Amino acid sequence: MKEIIDGFLKFQRNVFPERAELFKHLATRQNPRALFISCSDSRLVPELVTQREPGDLFVIRNAGNIVPSYGPEPGGVTASVEYAVAVLRVTDIVICGHSDCGAMTAIAGCHCMNTLPAVDHWLRYADSARVVNESRTHGSLQEKTAAMVRENVIAQLANIQTHPSVRLALEEGRIALHGWVYDIESGNIAAWDGANRRFVSLAENPDTCAVSQRPQSAA
């Protein structure tokens, strides 16, 4: 804990004064450009990976970067998505998985989670990805886990489109969805190309998009 407090003191002493005007501007308003949904894993820091300043990203983090389908009992993720899209009116949503994900490793390896009932229940929201992944042949558990990470990103992109606020924004042509997988060791990101249904290098294909819908022209 001492290191964390020392870090705050360093921030207060050195970092905050250099960005005083930014924080003054942010004190009473926020206008993030994107909603970034990522895993809670400590090795993935959205603002670091994307080099964004405070106020640029509206972030949701949870085990497995999961977005439950919209339902009659909305939870925190649903409420946060709705607020980001309907109130803050973000123009982009990124769902970002990552290599060596503990949640996806547990699913791919069929690990018993009897002692973690809350985790077990939560990961059921990745069932569609699990079923697809199980239907395919994998050379090793490592390959199976990597494939599960990617399938889960695709599944969560489908889930988020069941949310009314997201569906409306897509119909109005004011939002785009992105599916990313961040590799911790290399720092690379693979992005889901929705048009061609494959993952491609984001660095080589910076305009890649998972879902982008423009409003239909009037007849």
pLDDT in tens, 199-210: 999 999 999 999
> Mean pLDDT, 10 residues at a time, over the chain (219 residues)?
94 93 94 97 96 97 96 88 97 98 94 90 95 95 96 98 97 97 97 97 97 61
pLDDT in tens, 78-99: 999 999 999 999 999 999 999 9
* Structural domains of the chain, with CATH: 1-29 (no CATH), 31-204 (3.40.1050.10)
Count other Cβ atoms within 10 Å, centred on residue 149.
27
- Is 56 annotated to bind ligand? no
Count other Cβ atoms within 10 Å, centred on residue 152.
31
**Exposure class string for 53-76: b at 16+ Cβ within 10 A, else e:** eeebbbbbbbbbbbbbebeeeeee
Query: What is d(CA 139, CA 135) in angstroms, rounded to the nearest whole number?
Result: 13
- Is 112 annotated to bind ligand? no
What integer pLDDT is reported at residue 211 of this predicted model?
Answer: 95
Per-residue tokens: 39: 């895993």
Q: Identify the sign of the CA torsion 128, 130, 131, 132.
A: positive
What integer pLDDT is reported at residue 73 of this predicted model?
Answer: 76
Q: Three-class SS string for the chain?
A: CHHHHHHHHHHHHHHHHHCHHHHHHHCCCCCCCEEEEEECCCCCCHHHHHCCCCCCEEEEEECCCCCCCCCCCCCHHHHHHHHHHHHCCCCEEEEEEECCCHHHHHHHCCCCCCCCHHHHHHHHHHHHHHHHHHCCCCCCHHHHHHHHHHHHHHHHHHHHCCCHHHHHHHHCCCCEEEEEEECCCCCCEEEEECCCCEEEECCCCCCCCCEECCCCCCC
Angle at 71 between CA 83 and CA 109, to 5 degrees: 100
The residues that are catalytic are 39, 41, 43, 98, 101
Q: Are the C-beta atoms of residues 142 and 172 closer than 8 Å to each other?
A: no
- Is 39 annotated to bind ligand? yes
Query: What is d(CA 175, CA 182) in angstroms, rounded to the nearest whole number?
Result: 22
pTM of the complete model:
0.92
Angle at 83 between CA 77 and CA 81, to 5 degrees: 35
What integer pLDDT is reported at residue 25 of this predicted model?
Answer: 93
What integer pLDDT is reported at residue 215 of this predicted model?
Answer: 55
